[in-house]
């Protein structure tokens, strides 16, 4: 069987009244929390017990919610509509944001050296400090990049010098090779001429044995035009 209806009236028994207060207070706080989470509602709950003890819950701030409530009540009394009160509240917030944006834009212009006519010495000093601090940071970063570039170029220079030395050594070795072959003994010439042809052992024509006889038919006549 379901629970019967309870008559809503003051509970005379002190113990029963205290137990009922604790149970229903916890249920009320739970419902307020669920309402704020599920519906993204701004909820503020204040409960005083019969003994004067305070119990409260708010998902934002009880004080701010009460101030908003008072403003909404005042505006609703004047305009007769809560929606108009909310619209006025958002308009005020928008005005504050526009003022903040204008202030930031003016500050940025001051940092660029613009719109300084209305500023005095006291206003210019913090701007000067900020600019000097920014310049020092920019210079530090620029020097860091320059040092890194110089270090890279120095390393590149050493690599090029090494490559240059290697190429010079190769050129010198190639230039000394013919002189070494011209200084070889005659028996080495015969050994080279009698060896089977191999492209790897190919020698210049002036190193061939000059005593070999060639037939007239093998000789090519050179004619100068």
Mean pLDDT (whole number) for 86-96:
86
Report pLDDT for 145: 94
> What's the CA gap between 97 and 147, in Å, rounded?
44
pLDDT one-digit tens code per residue, 183-215: 555 555 455 445 454 444 444 444 444 444 444
**Pair (24, 40) in one structural domain:** yes
In a domain, 196, yes or no: no
In a domain, 214, yes or no: no
In a domain, 199, yes or no: no
Q: Is the pLDDT of residue 2 over 70?
A: no
Q: Is the pLDDT of residue 27 over 80?
A: yes
> What's the CA gap between 75 and 96, in Å, rounded?
19
Q: Is the pLDDT of residue 225 over 50?
A: no
Partner residues linked to 48 by β-bridges:
54
In a domain, 96, yes or no: yes
**Pair (99, 113) in one structural domain:** yes
**Pair (137, 164) in one structural domain:** yes
> What's the CA gap between 138 and 144, in Å, rounded?
10
Report pLDDT for 208: 45
What is the torsional sign of CA 180, 185, 187, 190? Answer: positive
199 vs 32, higher pLDDT? 32
In a domain, 21, yes or no: yes
**Pair (99, 139) in one structural domain:** no
Mean pLDDT (whole number) for 28-52:
91
Cα 189 to Cα 151, 196, 198, 211: the distances in Å are: 55, 13, 15, 11
DSSP H or E segment with residue 64: helix 62-79
Q: Is the CB of residue 55 less than 8 Å from the CB of residue 49? A: yes
In a domain, 217, yes or no: no
Q: Is the CB of residue 94 less than 8 Å from the CB of residue 104? A: no
**Pair (18, 75) in one structural domain:** yes
Partner residues linked to 47 by β-bridges:
55
**Pair (60, 103) in one structural domain:** no
**Pair (20, 74) in one structural domain:** yes
Report pLDDT for 43: 92
182 vs 160, higher pLDDT? 160
Number of domains in the chain: 3
**Pair (24, 69) in one structural domain:** yes
Round the average pLDDT of the chain to a whole number and report it: 78
The alpha carbon of 60 is separated from its chain's Cα centroid by a whole number of angstroms, namely: 33
pTM of the model: 0.33
> What's the CA gap between 205 and 192, in Å, rounded?
12
Report pLDDT for 153: 95
119 vs 193, higher pLDDT? 119
In a domain, 133, yes or no: yes
Query: Which stretch of 22-31, 64-73, 139-148 has the lowest confidence by average pLDDT?
Result: 64-73
In a domain, 20, yes or no: yes
pLDDT one-digit tens code per residue, 124-151: 888 888 889 989 999 999 999 999 999 9
> What's the CA gap between 131 and 110, in Å, rounded?
10
Q: What is the CATH number of the domain that holds 72?
A: 3.40.1810.10
Report pLDDT for 26: 93
170 vs 201, higher pLDDT? 170
Domain that holds residue 70: 14-79
């Amino acid at each position: 069987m379901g629970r019967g209806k309870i008559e809503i009236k003051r509970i005379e028994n002190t113990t029963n009244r205290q137990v009922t207060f604790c149970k229903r207070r916890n249920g009320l706080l739970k419902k307020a929390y669920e309402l704020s989470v599920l519906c993204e509602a701004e909820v503020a709950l204040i409960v005083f017990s019969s003994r004067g003890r305070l119990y409260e819950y708010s998902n934002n701030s009880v004080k701010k919610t009460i101030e908003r409530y008072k403003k909404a009540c005042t505006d609703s009394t004047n305009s007769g509509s809560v929606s108009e009160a909310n619209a006025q509240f958002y308009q005020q917030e928008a005005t504050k944001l526009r003022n903040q944006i204008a202030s930031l834009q003016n500050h940025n212009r001051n940092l660029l050296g613009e719109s300084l006519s209305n500023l005095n010495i006291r206003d210019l000093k913090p701007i000067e400090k900020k600019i000097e601090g920014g310049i020092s940071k920019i210079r530090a970063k620029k020097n860091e990049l320059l040092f890194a570039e110089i270090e890279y170029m120095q390393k590149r220079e050493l690599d090029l010098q090494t490559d240059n030395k290697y190429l010079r050594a190769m050129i010198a070795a190639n230039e000394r090779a013919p002189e070494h072959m011209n200084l070889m003994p005659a028996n080495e010439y015969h050994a080279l001429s009698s060896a089977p042809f191999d492209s790897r052992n190919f020698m210049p024509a002036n190193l061939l044995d000059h005593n070999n006889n060639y037939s007239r038919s093998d000789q090519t006549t050179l004619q100068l035009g």
